[in-house]
Structure 1
Amino acid sequence: MQTKQQMKSKQTEEELMAAAVQVFGEKGYAAATIAEITERAGYAKGNFYRYWKSKDALFLDIMQARLHQHREERKARLDAAQDGESALEVLVDFLEAMIGDDEWPKIFLEFTVQGSGDPEVRDRLNTGIYRLSSDLFAEILSPYATDYEGLRKLGALVTALFEGYLIQRRIGSNVLSLRDLRRAILTLGRPLFNP
């Protein structure tokens, strides 16, 4: 059982994270400051450093929490999947849910581009807890296909399509729809499940 202090500490952390998402959404990741985040949450700046060493560390925790929530939501559907195509459909639904939040894709893209210049952030971004990495993608779909390396490549292609779609959407291109993205991903995956 958590003590009152532990519960208050968790509440403070969650409030800082929620304020950060708001500030990032309004100002963009790069322009947002720790002072603005703490002010929005109603805390002194020193409280921020009780939880994170940097804005990047905060954002990675936000990413991890969001992805954990989405993964919990998709777990039952993945467990019920009868074949590779239906499991892939679940993963595409997961990506569409991420796209559905208008602010998140913008912040995610900006952070990914900016963070890729920092080797530590780049390494963390390539792990499965922060994104649908090629290895995680292959691991999820491996019960349905024997070509593990092919699944990894499919995961990389899906990520490229997903992030490319986000960029197209951010610049206002209406050439591709979510339906087009879904169809492309399922078409790419079909040969791995039906050799």
Structure 2
Amino acid sequence: MARRQQEKSRQTGDELLAAATELFGTKGFAATSVNDITERAGYAKGSFYRHFKSKDELFLRIVADKLADYRMRRDRQITAARSLDDVYAIIWDFLESIVQDKGWSASFLEFTIHASRNPDLCAELNNGVYRLSNDIFAGMVRPFLPEGYPPEKLGAFNTALFEGFLIHNLLGTGTLDTADIRQAALNLAKSFIAAPKEHS
């Protein structure tokens, strides 16, 4: 009986996550209410709060799940990497998939701005579980960097460049494409590594 209840609870949580992911992708973060999510999933509002404290927590869970999936795919690919070029190709393949999913990327940027106005939420979003830089990126590039060069610096730079490109792409300016930004990210990383004292 207890196992059946656990399975039912897990199913409810999964269906709420699926409904929220779809709605955030089509309507955006701010325009999607808890009521929208529960209606789409076919549950009462109370079911939402038995699984999540808030819409913010739910969104962070979706981000964590997406990055967990990325880590699994990355771990399979990274063993074949033999250079910084290889690592950047793996990273930007993933980032390009985010760019192509315009609904989700727009929601993520919207949530980032939302989080920036709440110090606690901002600190939570900066946790490595939800970010593409810092320890996630550092672990990938560390084997290919000179001793003493902080890989977190490249991670932060890569993320900043990507998020800037994401805004550029969502605005539809059309001046740059992903091939441009991929090559620029790699070239700039190599220039930073070649002159670490100037960028410490």
Same fold (TM over 0.5): yes
Which residue type is aligned with residue 138 of structure 2? A
- In 2, the alpha carbon distance for the partners of 1:148 and 1:9 equals 48
1:31–1:147 Cα change, 3 Å: farther
When residues 78 and 143 of structure 1 are mapped into structure 2, their CA distance, relative to the original with a 3 A threshold, is same
**1:94 equivalent in structure 2:** 94
Structure 1 residue 74 corresponds to structure 2 residue 70? no
Residues of 2 paired with 1:97 and 1:185: CA distance? Answer: 16
Supply the RMSD in Å over aligned alpha carbons: 1.9
Percent identity between the aligned chains? Answer: 44
What stretches of structure 1 of length at least 5 have no aligned partner? none
Q: How many residues align?
A: 194
AA in 2 matched with 1:34: V
Distance 1:192 1:161, change over 3 A: closer
Q: Say whether residues 1:154 and 2:154 are aligned partners.
A: yes
The answer to whether the 8 A contact 1:23-1:32 is kept is yes
Name the residue aligned to 1:175. 175
Partner of 2:43: 43
The letter for the 2-side match of 1:6 is: Q
Residues 84 and 58 of structure 1: CA distance in aligned 2, closer, same or farther (over 3 Å):
same
Report the TM-score, using the length of structure 2 for normalisation. Answer: 0.89
Residue 118 of structure 1 aligns with an amino acid whose one-letter code is N
Q: Identify unmatched segments of 5+ residues in structure 2.
A: 196-200
What letter matches 1:39 in structure 2?
E
Contact 1:105 1:166 (8 Å CA) reproduced: yes
Q: Is 1:85–1:189's contact at 8 Å kept on the other side of the alignment?
A: no
CA contact (8 A) 1:115 1:122 kept: yes
Q: Return the offset for 1:3.
A: 2.2
Is 1:8 aligned to 2:8, yes or no? yes
Q: Which residue of 1 aligns with 2:30?
A: 30
Residue 116 of structure 2 aligns with which residue? Answer: 116
Separation in 2, partners of 1:155, 1:32: 31
**TM-score (norm: length of structure 1):** 0.91
**Given that residues 102 and 170 in structure 2 are in contact (C-alpha distance below 8 angstroms), is that contact kept between their aligned partners in structure 1?**
no
Shift of 1:84: 2.3
